Structure 1
Amino acid sequence: MSGIPQPCSPEEISALFLFEKLAPEQLGRLCSEGRVELFEPGPVYTEGEPATCFYVMIEGTVVLSRKVGGDEVEVVRTSQRGVYAGAMQAYIGDERVRQVYNNTMRVTEPTRFFVLPAETFAEVMREWFPMAVHLLEGLFFGSKNSQRVIGQRERLLALGSLSAGLTHELNNPAAAAVRATSTLRERVAKMRHKLAVIAAGAYTPEALTGLIEIQERTAERVAKAPVLSPLEAADREDEITDWLDDHGIEDGWRLAPTFVQAGLDTDWLDRVQTAVVPEILSGAIGWLNYTVETELLMCEIEDSTNRISHLVDAAKQYSQLDRAPYRMADVHELLDSTLVMLSGKIGQRIKVVKEYDRTLPAVPAYPAELNQVWTNLIDNAVAAIGSAGGDGTLTVRTAKDGDRLLVEFQDTGPGVAPEIKDRIFDPFFTTKPVGEGTGLGLDISWRIVVNKHHGSLLVESVPGDTRFRVLLPLTADETDEHGETDEHNEHGEHDQNHQNDQNDERPEESG
């Protein structure tokens, strides 16, 4: 948007702190190649447009905002003379950094700017301040490179932690399956021996047929065994032990727990007694005990292998192997797979509560990267709870919030101190001891949610109740439908105190 041209006075612009040390000939060049424009209330430029001009406010009021999700969030409002915005890194060049406006600027009253074309700004910077340009370029790209390298390192550390946790989780069911298989082989051998003893006895074909029929019915009952409370199980064991003792079955106290685990009771024993002659009751009970043990062991093996299969599926879901990087995704599947992958780190002392709204639709997303967000936020929550003693609750909640999907992580840790709340999303900021955190987890999460998914990442915290809230759009932008958009170039705004450029202009509530 162009303003109303006005005369440019070297004396006037020399009063601005940015130009106060320039020589008269330099001020003259700025006025000859730049211009002064008056803008009526309204927009001056829009976020995402090519950055063609560098603006320095002479007088008026300027408002800078950024699009977060579907909302315009105000990040700066000032009437300070000399503040500047626009193509502030034009000296780097389009071939190295894509030059676009990283915010939207509007004015709320008639406002005058000194406007310098981006090409001219880049030229005078390189000509007048060559050393400063080199230093600024080094700072800009050095910070970028450091952040990228440390970010990769953090991802590798997270991968190592996840791998260790997954290996531990796989080891338990695998060891159980191996143990059950070894025991099963022993029980089958004893069952064959018992069958041989029964077959060698003077049993009629009808008696053997009855035993086999009882065996089949017993196996069916094992698969449908009810879950008993410890008190109920103890009472039933006493009843079965007494029954076995009354009928002359040796070591009844050894057999009773197995029968109870299989869901059998004294009524079942009465039916067995009715079906066989007294002479073979003891052998029949022993044989059926091996049958029950065999079924229970096979159930244990099935449960163990199902657990392994579930863990493998969770790992595939977490890593998004063989899936499109950008697609419609069910956040609940992503959350569940991440919780499974982190179950070893979460441990037994932290209670995980899921409050999912299963009616929520799938959202357009980069699932593998959202899993990285969930990992970082859950890891932070676990660390916070751990710092408060290790016992606590992690609540993962999903809901619809207007036209966006909410994913909330709530923990009962000590909370985020008010004095650091506005800094937790800054690169390299961490409260963890040296060597335990890179300070990039929340920064990476913020970039993935805000820059890549056009959502919001907010934090609300009081002691005992900290909530990180991720808001994701329910529909895709056109740019996303054609592939990943470039991450915004990072420009900051300066005031008269000559503050350092901020890497990102995050809304106040996001830190």
Structure 2
Amino acid sequence: MSRRPMPCSAQEIRQLFLFEKLSREQLGRLCAEGRVELFEPGIVYTEGQPATCFYVMLEGTVMLSRQVGGDDVEVNRTSRPGVYAGAMQAYLGDRTPQVYYNTLRTTEPTRFFVLPADTFAGIMHEWFPMAVHLLEGLFFGAKNTQQAIGQRERLLALGSLSAGLTHELNNPAAAAARATATLRERVAKMRRELAVIAEGTFTREALTELIEFQEQTAERVAKAPPLSPIQAADREDALTEWLETCGIEQSWQMAPTFVQAGLDGEWLDHIAAIVEAPTLPAAIGWLSSTVETELLMNEITDSTARISHLVDAAKQYSQLDRAPFRMVDVHELLDSTLLMLAGKIGSQIAVVKQYDETLPKIPAYPAELNQVWTNLIDNAVATMNSAGGAGTLTVRTARANDRLLVEIQDTGTGIDAEIRDRIFDPFFTTKPVGEGTGLGLDISWRIVTNKHHGSLQVESIPGDTRFQVLLPLTASQPNPTQEPA
């Protein structure tokens, strides 16, 4: 851009709040080693370029902006003399990347006092050695604290997820263990009842027919239709009456098992026609045990399938065996996160999924997107719990022009308008002390904006808060250096 050197006046720069306490000699050195330049409207420096100068505005208007998802977003605009920008961390030397962290523009002819970065660093160390040590401590201390608390945030989330996963795994595991123990008892009972049947006078054809009937019963169990409570009660009453007529003891215990398996009196007439009356109770008991073993094996199959599904969901959530950057189905990521958080969401909160199944896969860091969903859903659950523990969590996806929208909506207390602009700031939290670090939304914002070139925004009124994540549909060059703290 066009710039023109101009005379430096020690008297003028003394008027700036940065330099008002300097001595005449110090002001003279600044004018000798620095310079005053007039910049025409345009870009002074660009975000990401090496930071070579420290700028202090004398007069004019400047605008600072940052790249967010490919867009240049204005973060500040001012005409106040003395505002500064540029190589503000030059005094740290090579201990931190010396680049411009924003883009500086002038919107009208603007004069700056300009110091080369190395001159600024030397003057800081020479004139303000104690201040430099304090600034270094603040800079690296804050950075280390943010990293440590960010790590704690992730560990807390991991602990919560682990507890939820353990709870979810425990239910099917316990069901499988109970079913296995009961199955062992039923198999032993079948052996005893089979021995009673074998003592009867059966022809080879009758025994063959009895075994075939057992196989047919097992097949019927697998195809048993679900019944309403009223239908089941009516059939149990009718079957109990049939069993009692045949002299079967404990018929009230057998009837529910047969009904669950889809059997009725007409079906049991077949076994009554095969065996003799004295052995009918043993045959019915043997058939009941057959049905129970089938039902128990179905329960074991369902429980182990549930465990396998949970393990797959945990793998999907962690992405430990996947490439860090790849094409992903956002719905799979959302489903795995919801499953991992099921224990924390609880039964009082209804989960509603409104997915646009026509959406394509997108290029992303899936493990980090899962961290975003976790933070947003966790916050939604927390605000609904604070409003009484019940509510509705709605997870919605849609296409928004050339982007994919993921919206997390809750019916909690909402976010007050006066703090809405601060919720993405590091360490800002409305949770009680010890319950939140204030980094969840900050980390989420940086994952979405810095790593995925997307945007994260919020709309909120009491009873309706919506966090909206917009992600590009097309691939962009992965940027592994922009890791969230």
Taking structure 1 as the reference length, the TM-score comes to 0.89
Deviations 1:358-402 (A, max 9, x none): 322222222222222222222111111111111111112222222
Alignment of 1:9-28 (within 5 A): 9-28=9-28
CA shift at 1:329, angstroms?
2.3
Give the match's secondary structure for 1:360.
Answer: coil
Match of 1:382 in 2: 381
Corresponding residue to 1:484 among 439, 455, 480: 480
Residue type at the aligned position of 1:190: K
Alignment of 1:151-190 (within 5 A): 151-190=150-189
Q: How far apart are the structure 1 equivalents of 2:255 and 2:336?
A: 40
Contact 2:372 2:444 in 1 (8 A): yes
Residue type at the aligned position of 1:431: T
Q: How far apart are the structure 2 equivalents of 1:129 and 1:7?
A: 27
CA shift at 1:80, angstroms?
1.9
Give the match's secondary structure for 2:95.
Answer: coil
Residue type at the aligned position of 1:6: M
* Alpha carbons of structure 1 residues 285 and 174: separation in structure 2 relative to 1, 3 Å: same
User: Which of 378-387 and 248-257 deviates more?
Assistant: 248-257
Match of 1:6 in 2: 6
Q: Which runs of 4+ in 1 moved over 3 A?
A: 245-250, 269-284, 486-489
CA shift at 1:257, angstroms?
1.0
Match of 1:127 in 2: 126
CA shift at 1:413, angstroms?
1.0
The reply to whether residue 38 of structure 1 matches residue 38 of structure 2 is: yes
Q: How far apart are the structure 1 equivalents of 2:473 and 2:12?
A: 50
User: Which of 224-233 and 341-350 deviates more?
Assistant: 224-233
Contact 2:448 2:469 in 1 (8 A): yes
Match of 1:331 in 2: 330
Match of 2:236 in 1: 237
Residue type at the aligned position of 1:187: R
Q: How far apart are the structure 1 equivalents of 2:398 and 2:36?
A: 50
Residue type at the aligned position of 2:51: A
Match of 2:249 in 1: 250
Contact 1:349 1:391 in 2 (8 A): yes
Q: How far apart are the structure 1 equivalents of 2:77 and 2:231?
A: 70
CA shift at 1:273, angstroms?
4.7
Q: How far apart are the structure 1 equivalents of 2:177 and 2:198?
A: 32
Match of 1:295 in 2: 294
Q: How far apart are the structure 1 equivalents of 2:331 and 2:255?
A: 43
User: Which of 291-300 and 375-384 deviates more?
Assistant: 375-384
Contact 1:102 1:488 in 2 (8 A): no
Give the match's secondary structure for 2:392.
Answer: strand
* Alpha carbons of structure 1 residues 57 and 277: separation in structure 2 relative to 1, 3 Å: same
Alignment of 1:9-88 (within 5 A): 9-88=9-88
Give the match's secondary structure for 2:64.
Answer: strand
Q: How far apart are the structure 2 equivalents of 1:82 and 1:180?
A: 77
Matched residue count: 485
Q: How far apart are the structure 2 equivalents of 1:197 and 1:247?
A: 17
CA shift at 1:484, angstroms?
0.5
* Alpha carbons of structure 1 residues 192 and 2: separation in structure 2 relative to 1, 3 Å: farther
Give the match's secondary structure for 2:73.
Answer: strand
Contact 2:447 2:484 in 1 (8 A): no
Q: How far apart are the structure 2 equivalents of 1:353 and 1:239?
A: 41
Match of 1:217 in 2: 216
Q: How far apart are the structure 1 equivalents of 2:351 and 2:103?
A: 41
Q: How far apart are the structure 2 equivalents of 1:475 and 1:57?
A: 40
Match of 1:348 in 2: 347
Contact 2:62 2:105 in 1 (8 A): yes
Alignment of 1:361-376 (within 5 A): 361-376=360-375
Contact 2:236 2:255 in 1 (8 A): yes
CA shift at 1:194, angstroms?
1.4
Contact 2:443 2:484 in 1 (8 A): no
Higher relative contact order (CA 8 A, sep 6+): 1
Deviations 1:302-356 (A, max 9, x none): 1111111112222222222222222222222222222222211111111112222
CA shift at 1:226, angstroms?
1.9
CA shift at 1:247, angstroms?
4.1
Match of 1:139 in 2: 138
Match of 2:115 in 1: 116
Contact 1:210 1:276 in 2 (8 A): no
Stretches of structure 1 that go unaligned for 5 or more consecutive residues are 490-511
Deviations 1:407-430 (A, max 9, x none): 221111111122222222222222
* Alpha carbons of structure 1 residues 488 and 80: separation in structure 2 relative to 1, 3 Å: farther
Q: How far apart are the structure 2 equivalents of 1:397 and 1:486?
A: 28
Q: How far apart are the structure 1 equivalents of 2:373 and 2:120?
A: 42
CA shift at 1:284, angstroms?
3.2
CA shift at 1:279, angstroms?
5.9
CA shift at 1:271, angstroms?
4.7
Q: How far apart are the structure 2 equivalents of 1:268 and 1:72?
A: 75
User: Which of 15-24 and 134-143 deviates more?
Assistant: 15-24
* Alpha carbons of structure 1 residues 324 and 487: separation in structure 2 relative to 1, 3 Å: closer
Deviations 1:47-96 (A, max 9, x none): 22222222222222222121211322211122222222221111111x11
Alignment of 1:191-210 (within 5 A): 191-210=190-209
User: Which of 393-402 and 246-255 deviates more?
Assistant: 246-255
Contact 1:211 1:284 in 2 (8 A): no
Match of 2:92 in 1: 92
Residue type at the aligned position of 1:72: D
Q: How far apart are the structure 1 equivalents of 2:156 and 2:405?
A: 28
Match of 2:457 in 1: 458
Taking structure 2 as the reference length, the TM-score comes to 0.93
Give the match's secondary structure for 1:420.
Answer: helix
CA shift at 1:146, angstroms?
1.1
Contact 2:446 2:484 in 1 (8 A): no
* Alpha carbons of structure 1 residues 224 and 387: separation in structure 2 relative to 1, 3 Å: same
Contact 2:196 2:279 in 1 (8 A): no
How large is the RMSD of aligned CA atoms in angstroms? 2.2
Contact 1:449 1:456 in 2 (8 A): yes
Give the match's secondary structure for 2:19.
Answer: coil
* Alpha carbons of structure 1 residues 52 and 215: separation in structure 2 relative to 1, 3 Å: same
User: Which of 293-302 and 281-290 deviates more?
Assistant: 281-290
Match of 1:502 in 2: none
Residue type at the aligned position of 2:454: G
Stretches of structure 2 that go unaligned for 5 or more consecutive residues are none
Match of 1:471 in 2: 470
Give the match's secondary structure for 1:159.
Answer: helix
Alignment of 1:305-454 (within 5 A): 305-454=304-453
Give the match's secondary structure for 1:419.
Answer: helix
CA shift at 1:100, angstroms?
1.6
CA shift at 1:487, angstroms?
5.5
Q: How far apart are the structure 1 equivalents of 2:279 and 2:474?
A: 72
Give the match's secondary structure for 1:162.
Answer: helix
Match of 1:493 in 2: none
Match of 2:261 in 1: 262
Give the match's secondary structure for 1:58.
Answer: strand
